[in-house]
Amino acid sequence: MNAPGGSLLVAEDVRKAYGPTMALDGAEFSIHPGEVVAVMGPSGSGKSTLLHCLAGIVTPDSGSIMYNGRDLATMSDAQRSQLRRSEFGFVFQFGQLVPELTCVENVALPLRLNGTPRKQAERTALDWMQRLEVDDLGRKRPGEVSGGQGQRVAVARSLVTNPRVLFADEPTGALDSLNGERVMELLTEAARTANAAVVLVTHEARVAAYSDREIVVRDGKSRDMERVI
Ligand SMILES: Nc1ncnc2c1ncn2[C@@H]1O[C@H](COP(=O)(O)OP(=O)(O)OP(=O)(O)O)[C@@H](O)[C@H]1O
Ligand SMILES: [Mg+2]
């Protein structure tokens, strides 16, 4: 796979074993600033493991992951978690909102953790909730909103710190197709507005259709899939 100059995040020959299971067996990946790349492949093929390695959550056994010219392996745990907090955003399938907090408090949380005063953090949070069309849900708790609304709140939270890379693992996996499409429309539009690159793990072709490029992971190996748009 090509890893051309100007790539923001590049993985080369990444291997990761869990006991006898080779979750990644020479995976390659690259993404440019602002690009939306779908990572596809069957269940158990290594998609989530690849995403976790790219995000510095899981350390590969071998191979390299370079973010903005820096090798993640040369960074300390504290530097990697600082990188995740300041440069990366995350959206998962479900269960990511804090149930005790209101929706606006959930969206404001990453800013609060970075030391932003409450009022300012909630103002910025509401701006993002407006873009995701959930600003009317600010005072509700996650248990009081629908699945699609909850995912849009989660997308707002993932973008509130203006990350350079948004990692999304099956962000619409728990939604029906109509809600899934709306979340994808708003997610990709918001990411493009913010010029955030998106690593989008999905096994659904209609979700991958929102990407600029697709890669397929099989048995821990990845390859580019040519797309005709
Ligand atoms: N923490 C772990 N401990 C042990 N084995 C693991 C762990 N994480 C993943 N695996 C194994 O590694 C392989 C790849 O898993 P991974 O979660 O990356 O697959 P996936 O492509 O995301 O699948 P799905 O589409 O079902 O989410 C699987 O065989 C899985 O069982
Ligand atoms: Mg997975």
18 C-alpha to ligand 1 centroid (Å): 9
- The answer, yes or no, to whether residue 159 has pLDDT greater than 70, is yes
**More confident site: 106 or 226:** 106
Please tell me the residue having the least CA distance from ligand 1 atom 7.
18
pLDDT at 226: 62
Whether residue 10 has pLDDT greater than 80: yes
The pLDDT tens digits for 81-124 are: 999 989 999 999 887 899 999 999 999 999 999 899 999 999 99
Let me know: does 3 contact 66? Beta carbons within 8 Å: no
Residue 141 is inside which H or E element, if any?
A: none
Q: What is the pLDDT of residues 37-67, one digit of tens each?
A: 999 999 999 999 999 999 999 999 999 999 9
The residue whose CA has the least distance to atom 6 of ligand 1 is: 18
CA of 39 to the centre of ligand 1 (A): 14
What's the CA angle centered on 150, arms 144 and 155, to 5 degrees?
150
Q: What is the pTM of this model?
A: 0.93
In the Cβ-directed half-sphere of 111, how many Cα atoms lie within 13 Å? 23
- Please give all residues whose beta carbon lies within 6 A of any atom in ligand 1, as ranges: 18, 21, 23, 41, 43-49, 203
Q: Which of 25, 39, 45, 215 to mutate to test the pocket of ligand 1 (most atoms within 8 A of CB)?
A: 45
What is the dihedral angle through the alpha carbons of 20, 23, 26, 27, rounded to the nearest 10 degrees? 180
Taking alpha carbons only, the member of 42, 46, 72 closest to residue 57 is 72
**Cα(89) to centroid of ligand 2, in Å?**
17
Residue 7: per-residue pLDDT: 92
Alpha-carbon separation of residue 43 from 18, 53, 86, 217, 219 (angstroms): 16, 17, 30, 10, 10
H/E segment holding residue 200:
strand 197-201
Tell me what pLDDT residue 120 has: 98
Confidence of residue 146 (pLDDT cuts 50, 70, 90): very high
22, with CB counted inside 10 A (0-12, 13-18, 19+), is middle
With a cut of 50, say whether residue 2 has pLDDT above it: no
Smallest CA separation from ligand 1 atom 8, residue: 49
Residue 221 neighbours by CB under 8 Å, 6+ apart: 25, 26, 27
Mean pLDDT value of segment 140-158: 94
